[in-house]
Amino acid sequence: DLADIGVTGLATMGRNLARNFARNGYAVAVHNRSHSRTEALVKEFGGEGTFLPSEDVADFVASLKRPRRAIIMVKAGAGTDAVIDQLADLMEPGDMIVDGGNAHFEDTRRREAALRERGIHFVGTGISGGEEGALLGPSIMPGGSRESYEALGPMLESIAAQVDGVPCATYVGPDGAGHFVKMVHNGIEYSDMQLIAESYDLLRQALGATPAELAQVFREWNQGDLESYLIEITAEVLDQVDAETGRPFVDVVVDRAEQKGTGRWTVQSALELGVPVTGIAEAVFARALSGHPAQREAARGLEGPSLSGVAGKELVEDVRQALYASKIVAYAQGFDQIAAASKEYGWDVDLGAMATIWRGGCIIRARFLDRIRAAYDADPTLATLLADEGFAGALAAAQEAWRRVVTTAVRIGVPTPGFSSALAYYDGLRRDRLPAALVQGLRDYFGAHTYQRVDKEGAFHVDWSGDRVEHTA
């Protein structure tokens, strides 16, 4: 008998994904470069379903039903190209190669184009949810051809997380769209985590609260608008006590946040597209700042305010509101970036559908995503989520608290780049006129870059070095 689908690359993610397919009744071909992983999988979990192990790639491909469906779950990068080449050489037109790793969307575009020439569908697929998600139901973001989704979609939807009976998997768009959306998902995850960290830091410094007390605050927040996986696990991490020292876990961890690169990719792409994803950028840079011990050591003696324990309990509710408002901004920016890329690359991504498949399985899963979906349902052409009636109302209700939080942070010297930049973005978009007019005037002065007028059509230039009279450019 042949397998319905194959998984090659059986480390944490691939193994659990293969088990997920098997537990859902699919016969799964399994392969890994070093055979020991394949053997271990079959030995430990063979009883969960039908696994067809192969020691070499040719047998693996031969064990798949036609059209063949093979998922690659190897370390993203050069390895992926090598595995794609091996598979493609053994496949025939109509077969499907799915890359479930965290590939850069430009690599996916390149690979898709090359395989399309050979008649093979290349399906760059974002998979979120980590180890547990892969096993119990991830959020799945497949790109590639629509035709390949016809064949793969039902299988992916059946192994994905389900929320209210709706699978957290849907067709995203052609070529690199799936990996792009996964990248922005990760960028938003950076931003969410940064805002949570700022909330914790500010409350801890300003109130002199303990991590355990703050765990309780996050637990309460998780009952309301902020209900989400990340808020839930924040309470658990803050509650954790180090067994060796008896100190709070957060106090024994070196405060250096690492990154594997998807946040950076998101910001790089946003710079190319000209989309201000300030929330994600600040989160990436905050991690970078934490990772510069020499500079931090050199700056340690710099002057700052010596205020702490300065705020009253009302700060807790203010911070909750600032966190919610900043989160709305971060998501608005991320969705803008997806919209911009969709336009640039002709993907036609359904933004509401992306909010739908992020409701479960993935790291940013949250009740909040239902509201984003509702916003796009109400108006699929929404220019920014901030303008949605529901979100506009939430921002209006939160904005005073948000300003108090940023003011307090500035006053006591606790950095809140996420809160501050989100507020600046909100104020920037909301303003009638920005000082961009002055910037454009300066550009016209030194570079004759011209400007447009508020009261008539055309491009103009002032002869700054001469008579300072305006001319039509």
Residues labelled catalytic: 182, 189
As measured in angstroms, the least distance from the Cβ of 131 to ligand NDP is 6
Return the exposure string of 228-252: e unless at least 16 CB atoms fall within 10 Å of the residue's CB, then b: bbbbbebbebbbbeeeeeeebbbee
**Which C-beta is closer to ligand NDP: that of 184 or that of 275?**
184
Q: CA 197, CA 410: separation in Å to the nearest integer?
A: 16
Q: CA 201, CA 209: separation in Å to the nearest integer?
A: 10
Question: Which of 3, 27, 30, 76 is in the footprint of ligand NDP by CB under 6 A?
Answer: 76
Q: CA 49, CA 33: separation in Å to the nearest integer?
A: 22
**Which C-beta is closer to ligand NDP: that of 82 or that of 383?**
82
With CB under 6 A as the contact rule, which of the stretches 67-75, 112-120, 394-402, 406-414 interacts with ligand NDP?
67-75
As measured in angstroms, the least distance from the Cβ of 285 to ligand NDP is 22
Question: Is 101 a residue that touches ligand NDP (CB under 6 A)?
Answer: yes
**Which C-beta is closer to ligand NDP: that of 101 or that of 174?**
101
Instruction: Write the single-letter amino acid at 412.
Output: I
* CB 183, CB 395: distance < 8 Å: no
The burial class, CB within 10 Å (0-12 / 13-18 / 19+), for 74 is buried
Q: CA 294, CA 115: separation in Å to the nearest integer?
A: 47
**Which C-beta is closer to ligand NDP: that of 364 or that of 385?**
364
Question: Is 85 a residue that touches ligand NDP (CB under 6 A)?
Answer: no
Token output for 115: 């395989």
Annotated ligand binding at 148? The verdict is: no
- Of 91, 101, 132, the residue nearest 9 (C-alpha): 101
Token output for 231: 């808020």
> Residues binding ligand NDP: what is the number (CB under 6 A)?
23
Question: Which of 3, 7, 28, 73 is in the footprint of ligand NDP by CB under 6 A?
Answer: 73
Alpha-carbon separation of residue 27 from 5, 49, 92, 138, 233 (angstroms): 7, 7, 21, 19, 35
- Sequence-ordered alpha helix ranges (H) in 128-274: 130-136, 146-159, 177-207, 211-221, 229-239, 249-252, 262-273
One character per residue 25-44, x = contact with ligand NDP (rule: CB under 6 A) = -------xxx--x-------
Annotated ligand binding at 113? The verdict is: no
**Which C-beta is closer to ligand NDP: that of 84 or that of 283?**
84
Q: Which residue is nearest to ligand NDP (CB)?
A: 101
As measured in angstroms, the least distance from the Cβ of 75 to ligand NDP is 3
Question: Is 131 a residue that touches ligand NDP (CB under 6 A)?
Answer: yes
- Of 344, 320, 348, 330, the residue nearest 404 (C-alpha): 320
Strands of the 96-99 sheet, one edge to the other: 51-53, 28-31, 5-8, 69-72, 96-99, 121-128, 139-142
Angle at 272 between CA 270 and CA 274, to 5 degrees: 65
Annotated ligand binding at 449? The verdict is: yes
As measured in angstroms, the least distance from the Cβ of 84 to ligand NDP is 10
N- to C-terminal Cα separation, the chain: 74
Question: Is 82 a residue that touches ligand NDP (CB under 6 A)?
Answer: yes
Question: Which of 130, 153, 291, 390 is in the footprint of ligand NDP by CB under 6 A?
Answer: 130
One character per residue 9-28, x = contact with ligand NDP (rule: CB under 6 A) = xxxxxx--------------
Cis amide prior to 380 (ω within 30 degrees): no
Rg (CA), the chain: 25
Question: Which of 7, 87, 127, 270 is in the footprint of ligand NDP by CB under 6 A?
Answer: 127
**Which C-beta is closer to ligand NDP: that of 31 or that of 204?**
31
Question: Which of 102, 191, 234, 342 is in the footprint of ligand NDP by CB under 6 A?
Answer: 102
Question: Is 58 a residue that touches ligand NDP (CB under 6 A)?
Answer: no
Question: Is 230 a residue that touches ligand NDP (CB under 6 A)?
Answer: no
**Which C-beta is closer to ligand NDP: that of 76 or that of 238?**
76
Q: CA 21, CA 3: separation in Å to the nearest integer?
A: 11
Residues tagged in the binding site annotation for NADP(+): 9-14, 32-34, 74-76, 102
Residues tagged in the binding site annotation for substrate: 102, 128-130, 185-186, 190, 260, 287, 443, 449
Residues engaged in binding ligand NDP (CB under 6 A):
9-14, 32-34, 37, 73-76, 79, 82-83, 101-102, 127-128, 130-131
